[in-house]
Amino acid sequence: MPDALSLPADIQSAIDLLLPLLRRFARSAYGIALGGAHAKGMADPASDIDLYLFANVVLPNDLRATLAAEHDPRIHDVYTWGGQAPFEQAGTDFMLEGIKVEIWLRAAHLVTDAINEAEAGVVNREFVTWTTTGFYNHCALADIQAMVVLEDPNGLLAAWKRRVATYPDNLRSAIIAQHLAAARFWPHNFHYATAVERCDLIYTTGIVQQVLHNLIQVLFALNRVYFPGDKKLAQALRKLPSTPDRFAERVEALMFPAQPATVALLRAQREELQRLVREVGEMVAADD
């Protein structure tokens, strides 16, 4: 593990304990990395340990569960998921002395595919239950860039890190074009205006969330920062060097007005959404 990474003693001890277990999960060339909040330096007392195992062949769910339970008596509440054939991704999660451990297993060739797609400007989104806005292929590049390599006997992870070090121009152009067009669909749409006058809160809330998500995608691409996923997104937004004035705060105010829904409130919400779309569009135009 790199000397620059300083982890709490209990987290470091847990990682050292679990590395031999992850090696046993792999049945092909592999790489192991630390991800999540600990890798990003954003951990808090509630943060779990996110370990990544990249390989094209792994043990099935039942064998991983058995090995995890047998690995150390302090491991309990083991839960495995995924592992479908052909293997794409899977997980082995458990508790270790009060610490939640999530081991994410991913087919290595799919990560390589995601990098190839990003470099070609291909944007894919898979709607899955475990993330609120869907899993984008370019999220994998954010994971690779942020993760800390623990073991890389075949140089697999090092090669990926070199490739994602520079944000691909084709990916940037594709995300901005697709998501700015999507963001512009609703704010002046008459169906949205009608829903506001009806005070149709569920419908308008969905529109607000959709537009804001598209604007967020545009801004990450505009700043040449990989979209990191939905968790702790407000923190990531505040770190972007170029956004509309007070963008993160305005997003939060639109998402949670903290007032009873009225026609007047929804009108103001729609007008603010229109302003944000216009401001982001002006930033994109100025960047051309």
C-alpha to C-alpha distances, 13 to 10, 19, 30, 35, 155, nearest whole angstrom: 5, 10, 22, 16, 25
Q: Which domain holds residue 266?
A: 169-287
pLDDT, tens digit, for every residue of 28-49? 999 999 999 899 888 888 889 9
Q: How many CB atoms lie within 10 A of CB 24?
A: 14
In a domain, 3, yes or no: no
For residue 260, what is the domain's CATH number? 1.20.120
% of the chain at pLDDT higher than 90: 84
Same domain? For 230 and 131 the reply is no
The mean pLDDT value for 107-115 works out to 96
What's residue 1's pLDDT? 40
Do β-strands 99-106 and 125-126 pair in parallel, antiparallel, or remain unpaired? unpaired
Q: What is the largest CA-CA distance in the chain?
A: 61
Same domain? For 17 and 137 the reply is yes
Number of domains within the chain:
2
Q: What is the mean pLDDT of the chain?
A: 94
pLDDT, tens digit, for every residue of 257-275? 999 999 999 999 999 999 9
C-alpha to C-alpha distances, 223 to 70, 82, 176, 216, 226, nearest whole angstrom: 46, 34, 11, 11, 9
What's residue 128's pLDDT? 80
What's residue 4's pLDDT? 52
Whats the size of the chain, residue-wise? Answer: 288
What's residue 40's pLDDT? 85
Same domain? For 44 and 159 the reply is yes
- The distance in angstroms from the start CA to the end CA of the chain is 41
pTM (2 d.p.): 0.90
What's residue 63's pLDDT? 96
For residue 64, what is the domain's CATH number? 3.30.460.10
Domain end, chosen from 118, 140, 164, is at 164
What's residue 2's pLDDT? 40
pLDDT, tens digit, for every residue of 131-175? 888 889 999 999 999 999 999 999 999 999 999 999 999 999 999
